[in-house]
Amino acid sequence: MGILADAALAAGARVIGVIPKALVEKEWAHTGCTELHIVDSMHDRKRIMAEHADAFLALPGGIGTLEEFFEVWTWRQLGYHDKPVGLLNMNGFYDSLLAFLNSAVTTGFMSDWQMSLVRTGSDARLLMAELVKSASTALPTLQLDQI
């Protein structure tokens, strides 16, 4: 996340950081953010991030990435938001996960419409452009040439 924040700041973008106090104490806060919100819990962190987001994009990552991806996807299917959700499958990182999810559709545990709520792609630039285009709110500060 720090590398992404640094790259966005270097490109002139605004970066909003949201971090629980417990992680600040471990010195994991990015103090160079345009805004830094220090909150009490991970639940508060996710709520504030979701309120500020125009779209959600999961990059290759670990358990925290997966947990947050599935939560915003679940919120979308329940109608808590209508913001686009994306999964960047860079170098086939999520091939196994996507196969599993498609298996869940085939076996009846999920529906095609639920899968259609997630946009996937292996090209970050194209996927970001698709998310920007489908965002339910305007993204006045993000230009496609900045992606």
| Tally of CA atoms within 13 A in the half-sphere of 146 that contains its CB | 14
Asked whether residue 146 carries a pLDDT value surpassing 60, the answer given is no
How far is C-alpha 98 from the chain's CA centre?
A: 17
- CATH 3.40.50.450 intervals, the chain: 54-135
Distance CA 22, CA 19 (A): 8
**DSSP state, 91?**
G
Distance CA 22, CA 26 (A): 7
For 73, phi then psi, to 5°, come to: -65, -45
What is the model's pTM? 0.83
β-strand partners of 57: 86
pLDDT in tens, 79-137: 999 999 999 999 999 999 999 999 999 999 999 999 999 999 999 999 999 999 988 55
In the CATH scheme, what architecture does the domain 54-135 have? 3-Layer(aba) Sandwich (3.40)
Comparing CA positions, the residue from 50, 49, 43, 40 lying closest to residue 20 is 40
- State the Cα angle at 21 between 16 and 27, rounded to 5°: 80
